[in-house]
Amino acid sequence: MKTPIQIRLNGEDVAAFADGGANLLDVLRESIGDLSVKGGCWQGTCGTCTVLIDGAPRLSCVTLAESCAGKSIETVAGLRRGPDLHPLQNAFMERFAAQCGYCTPGMLMAAKALLDRNPNPTRENVVEAIAGNICRCTGYEPIIEAVLDAARGDSRRRA
């Protein structure tokens, strides 16, 4: 018996049928087809699967999908407005804040959660905001700089 789930994903109403006990990450990727969300551990420890649920950062791999019924979910696929990228996306590109790119969707959502609540974060705020997101490539510094740039509205190309 599959469970019907209806959510608001990146501003659009979408629905899917999910197995009982399915987690949100699997429903987003497998049933709804939003492949912008990635899975790293399926244990709730690496942060790769971070999405926003009603504005709050959440680990989709340990979130029961049906508990999200009627809620508003944001993923990386919904960050850009048509052709225009979100300031975070521009800042990440300019600061070389991604190498393999696998942690990037989760990082962007964790950063967005921060900036939506605190538009003027300190460096310490940024470090804490991404504390739950593991990156194995960049060493984190470019990511922190990118988030601070985006907060400052500063996404000019750097030499």
Determine, following the binding rule CB under 8 A, whether residue 155 of this chain makes contact with other proteins.
no
Q: What is the CA radius of gyration of the chain?
A: 16
Shortest distance in whole angstroms from residue 13 CB to other proteins? 21
Contact by Cβ (8 Å): 88, 94: no
Structure tokens given for 20 = 């009982």
Contact by Cβ (8 Å): 3, 18: yes
Distance CA 143, CA 112 (A): 12
Q: Which of residues 60-99 bind other proteins (CB under 8 A)?
A: 61-64, 66-67, 75-77, 79-80, 85, 88-89, 92-94, 96, 98-99
Q: Which of residues 112-151 bind other proteins (CB under 8 A)?
A: 113-114, 127-129, 131-137
Nearer to other proteins among residue 8 and residue 125 (C-beta): 125
Shortest distance in whole angstroms from residue 139 CB to other proteins? 13
